[in-house]
């Protein structure tokens, strides 16, 4: 099945990654393999739960929904989440202590989240200019950046309406 990648890169609410769970998982697996890694059962399951979640999910919510998959103990979940973050498939939003599936896996980026103080929703912004300047400025400071998540607080367009 061909997946269209055409999208408007200007809008905050237009993720580049497939919106369909199965399509996303397929792309995720290909990305993991390209990185010489393996998409294990637990990693896939955690990613699926994040994709199916309505908003940012906490680790213990994921744990509760694993249905006894593997040895579902907290360290297992955290290891899977760490792996998914390292591959760029998942981001952690520190201020919510929660995780979300990445909306922009097809291109390298720093994650910029618009977090609504009213509904607690978090939307990943397609922020290529911010990513580029963050990279340039951290590099100029002699700092080697491995990952960055920018958390912008405010009121989303639905709650403002
Ligand atoms: Zn992302
Ligand atoms: Zn994008
Ligand atoms: Zn809102």
Q: Which residues keep their CB under 5 angstroms from ion ligand 1? A: 102, 104, 111
How high is the mean pLDDT in each 10-residue block of the chain (161 residues)? 41 76 95 95 95 92 78 82 94 95 88 93 91 94 92 95 89
**Structural domain boundaries of the chain?**
21-101, 111-160
- Quick one: pLDDT at residue 74? 81
Q: How far is the CA of 132 from the centre of ligand 2 (A)?
A: 13
- Quick one: pLDDT at residue 4? 41
Three-state DSSP state, 90: strand
Q: How far is the CA of 103 from the centre of ligand 2 (A)?
A: 7
Options 3.10.129.10, 2.40.110.20, 1.10.10.10, 3.40.50.40; CATH of 21-101: 1.10.10.10
Cβ proximity of 29 and 87 under 8 Å: no
Name the CATH superfamily, with its identifier, for domain 111-160. Answer: Ferric-uptake regulator, C-terminal dimerisarion domain (3.30.1490.190)
């Amino acid at each position: 099945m061909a997946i269209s990648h055409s999208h408007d890169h200007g809008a905050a609410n237009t993720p580049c990654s497939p919106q369909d769970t199965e399509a996303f998982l397929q792309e995720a697996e290909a990305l993991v393999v390209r990185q010489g890694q393996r998409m294990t059962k637990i990693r896939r399951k955690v990613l699926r739960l994040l994709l199916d979640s309505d908003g940012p999910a906490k680790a213990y919510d994921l744990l509760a929904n694993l249905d006894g998959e593997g040895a579902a103990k907290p360290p297992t979940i955290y290891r899977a989440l760490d792996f998914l973050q390292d591959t760029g498939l998942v981001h952690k939003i520190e201020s919510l202590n929660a995780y979300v599936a990445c909306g922009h896996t097809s291109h390298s980026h720093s994650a910029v989240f618009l977090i609504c103080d009213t509904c607690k929703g978090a939307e990943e912004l397609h922020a290529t200019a911010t990513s580029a300047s963050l990279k340039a400025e951290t590099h100029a400071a002699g700092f080697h950046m491995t990952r960055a998540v920018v958390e912008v607080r405010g009121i989303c367009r639905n709650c403002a309406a």
